């Protein structure tokens, strides 16, 4: 009995320390949610739609993207399709996109005489022009721009990068708060009714533990496209040797023009530059022969072919299908048709292959319909997280107060948490800068909450 009495102060100290740690984690979970949840709703809605980009575009733009393929019908030549597009929209053809399947139109990108870039859609069986849209003017390109906040400039894009970093903190602290501590509900079941706060608390906790891992995966795989961190890592990973990894022949003259300047490319090819054709006495091989060469080389249907517009330009065929392993970029000399550089997924470095696979899963394409459905459920779960957090906070908050969770009595418990946050801030610079801002806000909140002296 005496041993038990003597041990009580130690137990009390451990209990107080546990409460203080819980308060510290809860406080930073609150701050992370305050910043992340609005972005989480926006990213989840636009991302959920973008998972079905091909299906939605095929419905919304069916008049220009879909064709009726008669049995046994033979497509016309690519040069005939380009000629038809230019007859309807005079200018310079800069890209030919091969139909993905028998029911898909060909897409010709035209730089008009007025300087506008148009996507002209042509029926591959009779070379009739179905219509035109501004380049990257489909409904899904708009959704993609909204998803990345490119519409709103670099500051907004930086905010998305910060939100991605803070979402990892949100999940880590959320797991700590969810961890079972003897309670009967709120671990895998939801208690109460929507009228009670415990219902929303349990809904938030159970949904969070179900989608938390997916949320971290989406944040990490979305980071390569981020403005600051993604750009710096891309330069480090792919910035040498013209952006091509060791083992890919680059002992040919290079133009200095990046592949990404001519259209969308894979993350691993962002820094890759385009080679040049050596002027020769013979005439260029022409578009039809170039398309035939790419087909012979085995490029996946639906490849985009950049058409040279200068004497030293090359035919560049690139394709980024659902299966990341089938990504490929081939540059042909426009006079000889000889492949200058032929690069596929297997040529990427380990980091490039891992990130390309992750990005493909992130886009909902690597594993087909199952990939789309799982990520759609995650997007719905993210919205439920945000809504339940808002309702839970509203029911808990004191009158005329933000309802920030209380500070721990022993401020020393914050040190370990802040060290972890600082490490994350070093790895992700924008997140680190936002951490400093959040610490300043927390300081102000504590000062304003402090009672005035009598």
What is the rounded CA–CA span in Å between residue 242 and residue 256?
8
Task: Report whether pLDDT(5) > 70.
Answer: no
Q: Which residue has the higher pLDDT, 15 or 51?
A: 51
At residue 426, the pLDDT reads 77
What is the rounded CA–CA span in Å between residue 360 and residue 364?
7
In angstroms and rounded to an integer, the radius of gyration of the C-alpha atoms of the chain is: 28
What is the rounded CA–CA span in Å between residue 273 and residue 254?
7
HSE (side-chain half, CA atoms, 13 Å) at 226: 24
Task: Report whether pLDDT(1) > 70.
Answer: no
Task: Report whether pLDDT(4) > 60.
Answer: no
Cβ proximity of 157 and 149 under 8 Å = yes
67-72 contacts, C-beta under 8 A, 24 or more apart: 67/103, 67/104, 67/105, 67/123, 67/124, 67/125, 67/130, 68/103, 69/102, 69/103, 69/125, 70/125
Helix intervals (H) in 51-110: 53-60, 62-65, 78-88
Compute, in degrees rounded to 10, the torsion defined by CA atoms 75, 79, 84, 87.
180
The pTM is what?
A: 0.88
Residue 104 is classified by DSSP as: B
Task: Report whether pLDDT(2) > 50.
Answer: no
Q: Where are the beta strands (DSSP E) in 183-334?
A: 254-258, 273-275, 304-306, 314-319, 328-333
Cβ proximity of 145 and 151 under 8 Å = yes
Task: Report whether pLDDT(408) > 60.
Answer: yes
Which domains, and CATH codes, for the chain?
Answer: 2-52+145-227+369-449 (no CATH), 62-137 (3.10.450.40), 246-348 (no CATH)
Please report where in the chains the tokens 């981020």 appear, as a residue: 226
N residues, the chain:
454
Average of per-residue pLDDT across 340-361 = 90
Question: 189: Cβ–Cβ under 8 A, 6 or more apart, which residues?
Answer: 202, 206
Nearest 5 degrees, angle CA 171-CA 46-CA 344?
85
Average of per-residue pLDDT across 408-428 = 74
Instruction: Give the H/E segment covering residue 111.
Output: strand 106-112
What is the per-residue pLDDT across 156-178, written as a single tens digit (0 to 9) for each?
888 888 898 899 989 999 999 99
Task: Report whether pLDDT(270) > 90.
Answer: no
Quick one: which of 286, 290, 360 has its CA closest to 325? 360
Compute, in degrees rounded to 10, the torsion defined by CA atoms 275, 264, 224, 218.
-150
What is the per-residue pLDDT across 52-93, written as a single tens digit (0 to 9) for each?
999 999 999 999 999 998 777 899 999 999 999 999 999 999
Strongest mean pLDDT among 21-25, 34-38, 90-94, 250-254: 90-94
What percent of the chain is predicted at pLDDT more than 70?
92
At residue 449, the pLDDT reads 65
Please report where in the chains the tokens 């739609």 appear, as a residue: 49
What is the per-residue pLDDT across 88-107, written as a single tens digit (0 to 9) for each?
999 999 999 999 999 999 99
Question: 43: Cβ–Cβ under 8 A, 6 or more apart, which residues?
Answer: 147, 160, 163, 382
Dig out the tokens for 361 from the structure: 């899963």
Task: Report whether pLDDT(13) > 70.
Answer: no
Neighbours of 93 (CB within 10 A): 21
Question: 411: Cβ–Cβ under 8 A, 6 or more apart, which residues?
Answer: none
What is the rounded CA–CA span in Å between residue 210 and residue 328?
36
Cβ proximity of 230 and 362 under 8 Å = no
Instruction: Determine the 3-state secondary structure of 95 from DSSP.
Output: strand
């Amino acid at each position: 009995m005496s041993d038990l009495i003597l041990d009580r102060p130690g137990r009390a100290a451990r209990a107080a320390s546990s409460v203080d740690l819980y308060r510290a984690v809860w406080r930073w979970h609150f701050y992370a949610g305050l910043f992340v949840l609005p972005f989480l709703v926006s990213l989840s809605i636009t991302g959920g739609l973008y998972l079905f980009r091909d299906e939605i575009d095929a419905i919304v733009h069916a008049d220009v993207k879909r064709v009726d393929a008669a049995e046994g019908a033979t497509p016309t030549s690519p040069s005939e399709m380009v000629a038809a597009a230019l007859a309807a929209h005079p200018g310079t053809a800069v890209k030919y996109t091969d139909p993905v399947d028998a029911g898909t139109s060909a897409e010709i990108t035209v730089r008009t005489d007025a300087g506008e870039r148009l996507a002209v859609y042509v029926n591959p069986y009779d070379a009739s022009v179905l219509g035109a849209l501004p380049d990257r003017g489909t409904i899904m390109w708009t959704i993609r721009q909204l998803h990345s906040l490119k519409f709103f400039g670099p500051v907004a894009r930086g905010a998305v990068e910060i939100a991605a970093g803070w979402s990892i903190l949100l999940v880590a602290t959320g797991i700590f708060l969810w961890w079972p501590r003897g309670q009967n509900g709120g671990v895998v079941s939801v208690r109460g009714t929507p009228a009670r706060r415990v219902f929303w608390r349990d809904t938030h906790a159970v949904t969070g533990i179900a989608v938390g891992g997916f949320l971290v995966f989406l944040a990490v795989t979305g980071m390569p496209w981020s403005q600051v961190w993604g750009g710096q890592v891309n330069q480090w990973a792919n910035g040498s040797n013209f952006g091509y990894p060791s083992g890919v022949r680059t002992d040919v003259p290079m133009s200095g023009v990046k592949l990404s300047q001519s259209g969308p490319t894979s993350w691993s090819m962002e820094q890759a530059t385009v080679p040049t054709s050596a002027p020769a006495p013979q005439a260029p091989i022409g578009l039809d022969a170039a398309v035939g060469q790419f087909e012979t080389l085995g490029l996946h249907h639906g490849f985009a072919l950049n058409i040279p517009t200068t004497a030293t330009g090359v035919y560049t065929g690139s394709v980024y299908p659902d299966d990341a392993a089938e990504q490929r970029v081939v540059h042909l000399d426009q006079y000889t048709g000889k492949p200058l550089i032929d690069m596929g997924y297997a040529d990427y470095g380990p980091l490039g292959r891992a990130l390309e696979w992750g990005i493909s899963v992130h886009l909902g394409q690597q594993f087909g319909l199952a990939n789309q459905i799982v990520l759609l459920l995650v997007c719905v779960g993210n919205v439920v997280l945000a809504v339940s957090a808002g309702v839970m906070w509203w029911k808990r908050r004191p009158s005329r107060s933000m309802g920030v969770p209380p500070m721990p009595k022993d401020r020393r418990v914050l040190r370990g948490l802040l060290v972890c946050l600082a490490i994350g801030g070093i790895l992700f610079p924008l997140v680190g800068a936002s951490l400093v801002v959040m610490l300043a806000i927390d300081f102000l909140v504590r000062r304003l909450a402090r009672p005035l002296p009598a």
